[in-house]
Chain A
Amino acid sequence: MNVLTNFPFIVVALLLAIGFYTIGFKKNLIKIVIGIEIIEGAVNLFLVALGYVKGAYVPIYTLAPKEAAEVNKMVLPTPQALTLTSIVIGVAVTALMLAFAVNIYRHYGTLDVRNIRRLRG
Protein backbone atom coordinates (compact mmCIF):
# COMPACT_ATOMS: atom_id res chain seq x y z
CA MET A 1 0.00 0.00 0.00
CA ASN A 2 2.61 2.48 -0.93
CA VAL A 3 1.93 5.67 -2.81
CA LEU A 4 3.07 4.19 -6.10
CA THR A 5 0.43 1.44 -6.26
CA ASN A 6 -2.26 3.88 -5.31
CA PHE A 7 -1.02 6.60 -7.61
CA PRO A 8 -3.66 6.01 -10.34
CA PHE A 9 -6.44 6.27 -7.78
CA ILE A 10 -5.08 9.54 -6.42
CA VAL A 11 -5.10 10.88 -9.96
CA VAL A 12 -8.66 9.64 -10.37
CA ALA A 13 -9.76 11.52 -7.25
CA LEU A 14 -7.97 14.64 -8.43
CA LEU A 15 -9.54 14.47 -11.88
CA LEU A 16 -12.99 13.92 -10.39
CA ALA A 17 -12.54 16.97 -8.20
CA ILE A 18 -11.41 19.09 -11.16
CA GLY A 19 -14.30 17.82 -13.26
CA PHE A 20 -16.95 18.58 -10.67
CA TYR A 21 -15.41 21.98 -10.02
CA THR A 22 -15.57 22.75 -13.73
CA ILE A 23 -19.22 21.72 -14.00
CA GLY A 24 -20.20 23.58 -10.88
CA PHE A 25 -18.35 26.85 -11.16
CA LYS A 26 -17.55 27.57 -14.79
CA LYS A 27 -19.99 29.72 -16.70
CA ASN A 28 -19.13 28.80 -20.26
CA LEU A 29 -21.11 25.93 -21.76
CA ILE A 30 -18.10 24.54 -23.63
CA LYS A 31 -16.15 24.47 -20.38
CA ILE A 32 -18.95 22.51 -18.74
CA VAL A 33 -18.75 20.00 -21.58
CA ILE A 34 -15.00 19.80 -20.97
CA GLY A 35 -15.71 19.21 -17.28
CA ILE A 36 -17.91 16.23 -18.13
CA GLU A 37 -15.15 14.93 -20.37
CA ILE A 38 -12.68 15.21 -17.48
CA ILE A 39 -15.00 13.21 -15.24
CA GLU A 40 -15.31 10.63 -17.96
CA GLY A 41 -11.55 10.46 -18.23
CA ALA A 42 -11.33 9.95 -14.48
CA VAL A 43 -13.84 7.10 -14.54
CA ASN A 44 -12.09 5.47 -17.49
CA LEU A 45 -8.74 5.74 -15.76
CA PHE A 46 -10.32 4.20 -12.67
CA LEU A 47 -11.55 1.22 -14.66
CA VAL A 48 -8.21 0.70 -16.39
CA ALA A 49 -6.33 0.98 -13.12
CA LEU A 50 -8.58 -1.68 -11.62
CA GLY A 51 -7.55 -4.09 -14.35
CA TYR A 52 -3.83 -3.79 -13.68
CA VAL A 53 -2.25 -6.86 -12.11
CA LYS A 54 1.42 -6.68 -11.22
CA GLY A 55 3.58 -9.16 -13.09
CA ALA A 56 0.79 -10.53 -15.26
CA TYR A 57 0.76 -10.75 -19.04
CA VAL A 58 -1.25 -8.92 -21.66
CA PRO A 59 -4.27 -11.00 -22.67
CA ILE A 60 -3.23 -11.34 -26.32
CA TYR A 61 -2.61 -14.95 -27.08
CA THR A 62 -0.44 -14.50 -30.13
CA LEU A 63 1.97 -12.13 -28.42
CA ALA A 64 2.27 -13.78 -25.03
CA PRO A 65 5.50 -15.54 -24.08
CA LYS A 66 5.46 -19.28 -23.53
CA GLU A 67 5.29 -19.16 -19.75
CA ALA A 68 2.17 -16.98 -19.73
CA ALA A 69 -0.06 -19.89 -20.66
CA GLU A 70 1.73 -22.24 -18.33
CA VAL A 71 1.55 -20.24 -15.10
CA ASN A 72 -1.93 -19.02 -16.00
CA LYS A 73 -1.01 -15.42 -15.43
CA MET A 74 -2.96 -13.35 -17.91
CA VAL A 75 -4.87 -10.23 -17.03
CA LEU A 76 -8.65 -10.36 -17.33
CA PRO A 77 -9.55 -8.11 -20.27
CA THR A 78 -12.97 -7.10 -18.89
CA PRO A 79 -11.97 -3.67 -17.51
CA GLN A 80 -10.42 -2.74 -20.84
CA ALA A 81 -13.59 -3.78 -22.61
CA LEU A 82 -15.64 -1.69 -20.18
CA THR A 83 -13.38 1.30 -20.74
CA LEU A 84 -13.65 1.01 -24.51
CA THR A 85 -17.43 0.84 -24.34
CA SER A 86 -17.49 3.86 -22.09
CA ILE A 87 -15.19 5.77 -24.46
CA VAL A 88 -17.50 4.97 -27.38
CA ILE A 89 -20.48 6.23 -25.43
CA GLY A 90 -18.48 9.28 -24.38
CA VAL A 91 -17.86 10.20 -28.01
CA ALA A 92 -21.57 10.16 -28.72
CA VAL A 93 -22.40 12.20 -25.63
CA THR A 94 -19.75 14.81 -26.39
CA ALA A 95 -20.80 15.16 -30.00
CA LEU A 96 -24.42 15.62 -28.97
CA MET A 97 -23.56 18.14 -26.27
CA LEU A 98 -21.41 20.17 -28.64
CA ALA A 99 -24.19 20.10 -31.22
CA PHE A 100 -26.58 21.48 -28.60
CA ALA A 101 -23.99 24.13 -27.69
CA VAL A 102 -23.69 25.21 -31.32
CA ASN A 103 -27.46 25.42 -31.63
CA ILE A 104 -27.74 27.38 -28.40
CA TYR A 105 -25.10 29.82 -29.60
CA ARG A 106 -27.07 30.34 -32.80
CA HIS A 107 -30.28 31.17 -31.00
CA TYR A 108 -29.04 32.98 -27.92
CA GLY A 109 -25.85 34.52 -29.27
CA THR A 110 -23.98 33.53 -26.11
CA LEU A 111 -22.57 30.50 -24.35
CA ASP A 112 -22.73 32.01 -20.88
CA VAL A 113 -25.00 29.83 -18.75
CA ARG A 114 -26.19 32.86 -16.79
CA ASN A 115 -27.82 34.17 -19.96
CA ILE A 116 -29.20 30.86 -21.22
CA ARG A 117 -32.29 30.96 -19.07
CA ARG A 118 -35.38 31.22 -21.16
CA LEU A 119 -36.84 28.15 -19.49
CA ARG A 120 -37.66 28.95 -15.92
CA GLY A 121 -40.42 29.06 -13.41
Chain B
Amino acid sequence: MTTTIIKTTTRLLAPLILVFGLYIILHGHLTPGGGFQGGAVVASGLALLIVAHEHKKVKELFERAPLSQLESIGALGFLGTGLLGLAGYTFFKNVIANSGFLFGGKTPIGINPGYLNTGGTLAYMNIFVGMKVLAGLTSIILIFFLILKEGEK
Protein backbone atom coordinates (compact mmCIF):
# COMPACT_ATOMS: atom_id res chain seq x y z
CA MET B 1 0.00 0.00 0.00
CA THR B 2 3.01 2.30 0.19
CA THR B 3 2.59 4.07 -3.12
CA THR B 4 3.99 7.48 -3.90
CA ILE B 5 0.56 9.07 -3.73
CA ILE B 6 -0.05 7.85 -0.20
CA LYS B 7 3.44 8.81 0.90
CA THR B 8 3.17 12.34 -0.45
CA THR B 9 -0.31 12.87 0.95
CA THR B 10 0.80 11.59 4.31
CA ARG B 11 3.80 13.89 4.34
CA LEU B 12 1.49 16.82 3.75
CA LEU B 13 -1.47 15.82 5.88
CA ALA B 14 -0.14 13.90 8.86
CA PRO B 15 1.43 16.89 10.67
CA LEU B 16 -1.74 18.90 10.15
CA ILE B 17 -3.94 16.12 11.49
CA LEU B 18 -1.73 15.62 14.52
CA VAL B 19 -1.70 19.33 15.35
CA PHE B 20 -5.45 19.54 14.85
CA GLY B 21 -5.97 16.60 17.20
CA LEU B 22 -3.82 18.20 19.86
CA TYR B 23 -5.78 21.43 19.42
CA ILE B 24 -9.06 19.58 20.01
CA ILE B 25 -7.68 17.98 23.14
CA LEU B 26 -6.36 21.24 24.57
CA HIS B 27 -9.45 23.21 23.64
CA GLY B 28 -11.85 20.56 24.91
CA HIS B 29 -13.20 22.68 27.71
CA LEU B 30 -14.03 25.60 25.42
CA THR B 31 -15.22 24.22 22.09
CA PRO B 32 -16.86 21.00 20.91
CA GLY B 33 -14.52 18.09 21.26
CA GLY B 34 -12.36 16.96 24.08
CA GLY B 35 -10.14 14.09 25.07
CA PHE B 36 -11.76 11.28 23.16
CA GLN B 37 -12.41 13.20 19.96
CA GLY B 38 -8.94 14.75 19.92
CA GLY B 39 -7.32 11.45 20.77
CA ALA B 40 -9.22 9.76 17.94
CA VAL B 41 -8.05 12.44 15.49
CA VAL B 42 -4.43 12.03 16.60
CA ALA B 43 -4.78 8.26 16.31
CA SER B 44 -6.12 8.61 12.77
CA GLY B 45 -3.08 10.73 11.91
CA LEU B 46 -0.86 8.02 13.33
CA ALA B 47 -2.86 5.43 11.37
CA LEU B 48 -2.03 7.32 8.21
CA LEU B 49 1.64 7.19 9.14
CA ILE B 50 1.39 3.46 9.86
CA VAL B 51 -0.22 2.75 6.50
CA ALA B 52 2.26 4.85 4.56
CA HIS B 53 5.42 3.23 5.85
CA GLU B 54 7.17 -0.06 5.42
CA HIS B 55 5.85 -2.89 7.53
CA LYS B 56 9.24 -3.63 9.08
CA LYS B 57 9.96 -0.04 10.00
CA VAL B 58 6.57 0.38 11.65
CA LYS B 59 6.99 -2.80 13.62
CA GLU B 60 10.42 -1.79 14.89
CA LEU B 61 9.29 1.68 15.87
CA PHE B 62 6.16 0.65 17.66
CA GLU B 63 7.69 -2.22 19.53
CA ARG B 64 9.68 0.43 21.36
CA ALA B 65 6.81 2.91 21.71
CA PRO B 66 5.38 2.73 25.25
CA LEU B 67 1.75 2.63 24.15
CA SER B 68 0.51 0.36 26.93
CA GLN B 69 2.24 2.46 29.58
CA LEU B 70 0.86 5.66 28.06
CA GLU B 71 -2.62 4.17 28.26
CA SER B 72 -2.18 3.26 31.92
CA ILE B 73 -0.80 6.68 32.76
CA GLY B 74 -3.71 8.36 31.01
CA ALA B 75 -6.27 6.34 32.95
CA LEU B 76 -4.46 6.78 36.24
CA GLY B 77 -4.17 10.52 35.67
CA PHE B 78 -7.88 10.71 34.98
CA LEU B 79 -8.68 8.82 38.18
CA GLY B 80 -6.14 10.91 40.07
CA THR B 81 -7.73 14.20 39.02
CA GLY B 82 -11.05 12.72 40.11
CA LEU B 83 -9.60 11.70 43.46
CA LEU B 84 -8.35 15.26 44.05
CA GLY B 85 -11.95 16.14 44.82
CA LEU B 86 -11.97 13.84 47.86
CA ALA B 87 -10.03 16.53 49.72
CA GLY B 88 -13.01 18.20 51.28
CA TYR B 89 -15.57 17.67 48.54
CA THR B 90 -16.60 14.60 46.52
CA PHE B 91 -15.11 12.40 43.85
CA PHE B 92 -14.78 14.31 40.53
CA LYS B 93 -15.44 17.70 42.18
CA ASN B 94 -13.76 20.41 40.13
CA VAL B 95 -11.37 21.67 42.79
CA ILE B 96 -8.89 23.41 40.48
CA ALA B 97 -11.44 25.78 38.92
CA ASN B 98 -10.98 29.39 40.04
CA SER B 99 -8.04 28.43 42.21
CA GLY B 100 -5.37 30.27 40.23
CA PHE B 101 -3.48 27.07 39.41
CA LEU B 102 -2.66 26.19 35.81
CA PHE B 103 -6.05 26.03 34.00
CA GLY B 104 -7.49 27.46 37.20
CA GLY B 105 -8.08 30.97 35.93
CA LYS B 106 -11.23 32.77 36.84
CA THR B 107 -14.03 32.07 34.37
CA PRO B 108 -15.60 35.34 33.27
CA ILE B 109 -19.37 35.28 33.40
CA GLY B 110 -21.26 36.07 30.22
CA ILE B 111 -20.55 35.58 26.56
CA ASN B 112 -16.85 35.80 25.83
CA PRO B 113 -14.33 34.64 23.25
CA GLY B 114 -13.16 31.83 25.56
CA TYR B 115 -10.04 31.75 27.67
CA LEU B 116 -7.72 28.75 27.54
CA ASN B 117 -6.61 29.12 31.13
CA THR B 118 -9.95 28.10 32.61
CA GLY B 119 -11.81 24.85 33.16
CA GLY B 120 -10.02 23.45 36.18
CA THR B 121 -9.86 19.65 36.31
CA LEU B 122 -11.77 19.40 33.02
CA ALA B 123 -8.74 20.50 31.04
CA TYR B 124 -6.51 18.00 32.84
CA MET B 125 -9.02 15.22 32.34
CA ASN B 126 -9.19 16.03 28.63
CA ILE B 127 -5.42 15.78 28.37
CA PHE B 128 -5.30 12.46 30.20
CA VAL B 129 -8.21 10.98 28.27
CA GLY B 130 -6.63 12.17 25.05
CA MET B 131 -3.43 10.40 26.01
CA LYS B 132 -5.26 7.17 26.78
CA VAL B 133 -7.40 7.25 23.65
CA LEU B 134 -4.54 7.99 21.29
CA ALA B 135 -2.48 5.20 22.80
CA GLY B 136 -5.38 2.75 22.85
CA LEU B 137 -6.66 3.42 19.35
CA THR B 138 -3.16 3.45 17.90
CA SER B 139 -2.38 0.09 19.42
CA ILE B 140 -5.68 -1.33 18.12
CA ILE B 141 -4.92 -0.07 14.60
CA LEU B 142 -1.35 -1.26 14.82
CA ILE B 143 -2.28 -4.74 15.95
CA PHE B 144 -4.83 -5.15 13.18
CA PHE B 145 -2.31 -3.78 10.66
CA LEU B 146 0.35 -6.24 11.73
CA ILE B 147 -2.14 -9.12 11.64
CA LEU B 148 -3.15 -8.07 8.14
CA LYS B 149 0.44 -8.03 6.96
CA GLU B 150 1.12 -11.39 8.54
CA GLY B 151 -1.85 -12.81 6.68
CA GLU B 152 -0.53 -11.56 3.37
CA LYS B 153 2.75 -13.42 3.71
**A-B interaction:** yes
If over half of A's interface residues share one DSSP class (helix, strand or loop), that class is named, otherwise mixed; here it is helix
Contacting B at CB under 8 A, from A72-108, are: 84, 88, 91, 95, 98-99, 102
Cα A102 to Cα B137 with chains together (Å): 17
Q: What residues of B have a CB within 8 angstroms of the CB of A66 in the complex? A: 111
- Complex contact A61–B111 (CB within 8 A): yes
Which of chain A's residues has its CB closest to B113's CB? A62
Cα A18 to Cα B80 with chains together (Å): 43
Binding-face segment, B29-37, B55-63, B89-97: B29-37
Interface size on A, residues (CB 8 A): 14
Contacting A at CB under 8 A, from B25-75, are: 30-32, 36-37
- Complex contact A95–B140 (CB within 8 A): yes
Cα A88 to Cα B34 with chains together (Å): 12
Does B4 have its Cβ within 8 Å of any Cβ on chain A?
no
Q: What residues of B have a CB within 8 angstroms of the CB of A60 in the complex? A: 31-32
0/1 per residue, B115-142, Cβ < 8 Å to A? 0000000000000000000000100100
